[in-house]
Each structure stands twice: as structure tokens, then as C-alpha cells.
Amino acid sequence: MKKYFQFEELGTNYRREIIGGITTFLAMAYILFVNPSVLTLMDVEELPAGVTRMDPEAVFVATALAAAVGTIIMGLIARYPIALAPGMGLNAFFAYTVVLQWGIPWETALAGVLASGLIFIVLTLTGIRQKVINAIPNNLKLAVGAGIGIFIAFIGLTNVGIIEADPATFLTLGDVTNAYTLLAIFGVVATVILLTLGLRGGVFYGMIITAVTGMLFGLISPPSGMNDVVSTVPSLEPTFGAAFANFGEIFTLQLLVVILTFLFVDFFDTAGTLVAVATQGGMMKEGKLPRANRALFSDSAATVAGAAFGTSTTTSYIESTTGVSAGARTGFASLVTAALFLLALFFSPLLGVVTSEVTAPALIIVGILMAANLRHIEWDKFEIAVPAFLTVIAMPLTYSIATGIAVGFIFYPITMLVKGRGKEIHPSMYVLFVVFILYFMFIPE
């Protein structure tokens, strides 16, 4: 084991790897409860006609299994201390845009996730993936990440009534004297304090504090016994295999946009996470990441596995940097994290105490962290600022990540050509320009 993971070469040991793996798990354990909340549209009381809700327990199991399998693949094949789980942002796009707004059945949406994972595998194995990444301007990549962050935070704010609809101003401050809204605000404050103090796993601990506080004040029903905390693993049957059964439904323009969005965001998340984790752990060699293709393959394989289980795109988590900072340097730490995700399968009853008020602070805080990408955009160049800004602002205002990407990718060639920088535009950007024009012409609202 030590030889396979190169403990001596990397200056690590079992103790460091175990502590690092546990630290990473605690930093990202919130996804076990946030993902079912998002994918099942928990905060939406009445769904539009024809829209059905995913089974929350099945999604919980799918989330834990996707995280465990993906992290094991990363640990064994790529040998990096990087954990994977269903990605924030992509789960919101899946639920609020694809299913809720467009009315696409969640089973078909899972088929779209599966297709994106299979395409990702092909692009990785053929070496095309790097060329695709290079074709997308860095400023637009940053804008997409920041826009998704603001969109996620907006969902969190509206889910608990901090922000409400208003007939005169469209949006306004909600009733902040409402007990449930106050609980969510308390959760945000508590989480902010924990993260400001530098506590690893602050988002997860913030959820625990919020849930306990809700129980103390009678806003959340506490577990009545051990059966409300630990139980047998729920059935995966409601979601398992739905992606394969509905694969024939993906061959439409609408699903093409869905698949492209899954691909784009997963590309950016994975590349950014790999570089961030490798840099912090001193794993980069001459500016390059060893075994990069193995890491990318692990990520794409995890997406395919996650889709089969019944969850949105599974991707590498930036929270892995917390484990690296705690000493993790090898894939053995990933195996520890994966084992904890498997152990978490027995705690599904806790879904009952993780209400919208408990998950909203996590959405808001994660959104803040993702919005940090804004600082790297070249705002002083107008031809860049226009498509970047429109990408960011369109996501929350249209309640759609795909629309934000489409607007930005349409305006980028226009402003760059007018500025005389046409030679800097990759040919594939013109193809995407046409694709997204068609998106606005034919995709139903």
C-alpha cells in the first residue's frame, strides 16, 4: 500500500493521510443533504403540471454512492487526494432550469448527465478535451463560475424568504421577523463566523448548528430515537438506471443545450480544482500535473456512475484543498474520504431535520466562495467586460445557468470582432455562437 501510493517519495504516512481524508469529508459532507434538497425541489411547494419530484432518500443514496465511487476511482487510478461528489451549480441547473423551468422529466435529465459523462470520457481518452478547454476564453470561464455562484446564493436567499417576489420592484427583502427566515439568517451568520475563523468543515458544522438551534426553538422536529438517526440503507430503485432507460430521449436541440452546459461547467470545475489541489500540495512538476489524464478520466467516470445511480453531474471538489492542507498527499486519503461517504449511507433519517432553513446557508456561502472568480476577470477591457457581465447577471435574473452561458457566448464574438481582435477567437466559438442563437430561437420558455 505504501509503495503503491508512494508514501516515502511524497513524505507522508498513514496518520497524515487518514486525517487529511477525514478533513476533506467534513468539508464537503454538506452535499449529502444539500443535493437531495436541491434535486427534489424541496422548497417548491407546488410543481407545475407534468413535473414530478425525485425520491429524496434515493437521491441521498445516489449522492453518497456517486461520491464514494468517484473518489475511489480518483484515489486508485489517479492517486490524488481529491474527493468527488455531485457538483453545486450543476445540481441547481438540473433541478431549477432543466426540470422545473423547461419541464423536462428528471429521468431524461439524468440521461443528459450520462451523455455528458460519456462524451467527457471520449474527449479525455482522445486528448481532445484540452483543445476544447483552450478554445473557451479564460474570462468567460471565470464569468461562468462566478455567475453560478451568484445563482446558487440567490436560490438559497429565496428558498427561505430572505428575498421575495414583489409586484412593484420584482424582488424585495422578505419578512426577516419570520421565525424560519430568522433561523436561516442565524445559520448564515454562524457559518460565516466558522469560516472566518478558518475552521475546516465550517459549512457542514454550520448546518449542524442551524439544525440544533431549530430543534431547540421548536422549528424543526428533533429525532425521537435512534431509528430517526441511523437506519438501513434506503432503496435506490426509484432512480437507479433511469438514465439508461431514457437515453433515447436526449436527441433534441433542448437536450443538446443541457448536455453542453453539463460539459462546460464540469470542464471548468475539474480543471480548476485539479490545479488548485495540486498547487497547494506541491504536486505540480514544471507547471504540469502528472497523471492529469487519469484524474480527468476519474472525474468523467464518476459522472457516468452518478448518472446511473440517479444524481446530477459528479465532479472534483475544491474542498479537497482542506484535506491537503491537513497533510494529505496521496490517493489513500481519497479512500478514507470514500469510506466515510459509504458509512454515511446509514444516516438517511437525518434528512428529516435538514430543512430548507438548514441548507440555505450552505447554498449562500458556497455561492460567495464561487463568486470569488470575479476578481480575475479583465473588467478594464470593455470587449471582455460586456460578455462577462452579461453571463454573470443573466444567470440569477433568468433563473437559468444555460441562459447566462448562452448570452455570454453570443456577445463575446461580437465585441471581440468589433474591437479588431477577431484572430483571438477560436473557430469553435463561432459554432457555439450559432448553437446558442438557435437556443433562443427554438428552446421553449
Per-residue pLDDT of 261-272, as tens digits, reads 888 778 767 776
Q: Is residue 296 included in any domain, yes or no?
A: yes
Q: What are the angstrom distances between the C-alpha of 329 and each of 71, 73, 78, 288, 350?
A: 14, 16, 12, 17, 32
Give the pLDDT of residue 62: 98
Looking at residue 141, what is its pLDDT? 83
Sort residue 52 into left (φ over 0), alpha (ψ -120 to 50) or beta. beta
Q: Is residue 197 part of a domain?
A: yes
Predicted pLDDT at 287: 62
Model pTM score: 0.82
Cell numbers found for residue 316: 472534483
By mean pLDDT, which of 144-158, 276-290, 346-360, 362-376 is the weakest?
276-290
**395, part of any domain:** yes
pLDDT at 174: 94
Q: What is the mean pLDDT of residues 318-345?
A: 92
- The number of distinct structural domains making up the chain is 1
Which residues constitute the domain of residue 302? Answer: 7-442
| pLDDT, greater one: 278 or 54 | 54
1 within domain boundaries: no
DSSP 278-347: HHHTT--BTTB-TTHHHHHHHHHHHHHHHHHHT-S-EEE-TTHHHHHHTT--SHHHHHHHHHHHHHHGGG
Number of alpha carbons in the 13 Å side-chain half-sphere of residue 241: 5
Is residue 322 included in any domain, yes or no? yes
Q: Which one has a higher pLDDT value, 66 or 354?
A: 66
303 CB-near residues (< 8 Å, 6+ apart): 70, 113, 114, 116, 117, 120, 266, 313, 314, 315
Tell me the three cell numbers of residue 333: 486519503
Measure Cα distances from 56 to 126, 243, 246 in Å. 37, 17, 20
Report the distance separating Cα 127 and Cα 237, nearest Å: 36
114-155 pLDDT per residue, tens:
999 999 999 888 877 767 766 788 898 889 888 888 988 998
Q: Is residue 165 part of a domain?
A: yes
% of the chain surpassing 70 pLDDT: 96
In a domain, 2, yes or no: no
Q: By C-alpha distance, which of 27, 136, 45, 82 is closest to 280?
A: 82
